[in-house]
């Protein structure tokens, strides 16, 4: 069952990232119906599309044109497989909420990674997790969330390092879990981004992937 959960999670991530890539590049979600290489546009065969394993078999490159496959794809598939294996407990309501939460995070992460765009409506998929979380005083959470948003907006105005989507994401996390966990998410996500910046030297990096990863780790520690 663990393997099936892992494969299911990796497959879900593979499908969502494919859709997000098309959205980010203004490609049709339905034409062509089958996956294709974005470099040579050749239609991929079924064995080119097995999550993680195809990346290994193909040695990280397209079967046809030898273009390197983005390392993000096997990484998000692997992490999603681990997350699904960890959180799914085969109870319908619990697993439905977890599925909605994780797919929302994968979607948010992928759209930010591919196009630096956050679709605000996808944040709604995070809210049902409150049914599984430790009870919160949501009135105080709302106050702290508003204070956090104002602080982050001021920070973003002067530093140009945060996008509105990042702030919206943190507003939701503060609303769900409160100020303490939100500050932990910001702290550890920032450390991850600093580490990535040191190695890549890229000035523009997607922040949502780091926020999502730390959010899942917090969820694991909390025990949902």
% pLDDT > 90, the chain: 53
Q: How confident is the model at residue 109 (pLDDT cuts 50, 70, 90)?
A: very high
Number of neighbouring beta carbons within 10 Å of residue 76 = 24
Number of neighbouring beta carbons within 10 Å of residue 67 = 13
Model pTM score: 0.90
Instruction: Please report the pLDDT score of residue 224 as a whole number.
Output: 56
Size of the chain, expressed as the number of residues it contains: 224
Residue of higher predicted confidence among 46 and 145: 145
* Helix, strand, coil share (%) of the chain residues, nearest 5: 70, 0, 30
Residue of higher predicted confidence among 134 and 209: 209
Decide: 163 and 116 in contact? Cβ < 8 Å.
Answer: yes
> How confident is the model over 73-98, as pLDDT tens digits?
999 999 999 999 999 888 888 899 99
Number of neighbouring beta carbons within 10 Å of residue 144 = 18
Lookup: tokens for 125: 């998929």
Q: How confident is the model at residue 214 (pLDDT cuts 50, 70, 90)?
A: very high
Lookup: tokens for 83: 């997350």
């Amino acid at each position: 069952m663990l393997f099936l959960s892992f494969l299911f999670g990796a497959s879900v991530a593979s499908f969502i990232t494919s859709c997000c890539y098309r959205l980010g590049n203004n490609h049709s979600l339905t034409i062509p119906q089958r996956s294709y290489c974005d470099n040579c546009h050749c239609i991929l065969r079924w064995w080119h599309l097995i999550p993680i394993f195809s990346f290994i078999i193909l040695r990280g490159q397209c079967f046809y044109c030898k273009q390197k496959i983005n390392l993000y794809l096997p990484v998000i598939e692997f992490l999603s497989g681990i997350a699904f294996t960890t959180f799914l407990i085969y109870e319908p309501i619990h697993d439905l909420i977890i599925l909605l939460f994780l797919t929302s995070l994968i979607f948010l992460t992928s759209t930010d990674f591919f196009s630096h765009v956050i679709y605000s409506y996808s944040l709604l998929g995070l809210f049902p997790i409150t049914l599984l979380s430790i009870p919160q005083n949501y009135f105080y959470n709302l106050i702290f969330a508003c204070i956090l948003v104002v602080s982050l907006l001021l920070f973003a105005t002067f530093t140009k390092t945060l996008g509105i989507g990042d702030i919206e994401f943190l507003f939701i996390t503060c609303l769900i879990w409160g100020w303490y966990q939100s500050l932990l998410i910001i702290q550890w996500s920032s450390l991850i981004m600093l580490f990535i910046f040191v190695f890549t030297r890229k000035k523009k990096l997607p922040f949502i992937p780091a926020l999502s990863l730390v959010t899942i780790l917090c969820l694991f520690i909390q025990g949902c």
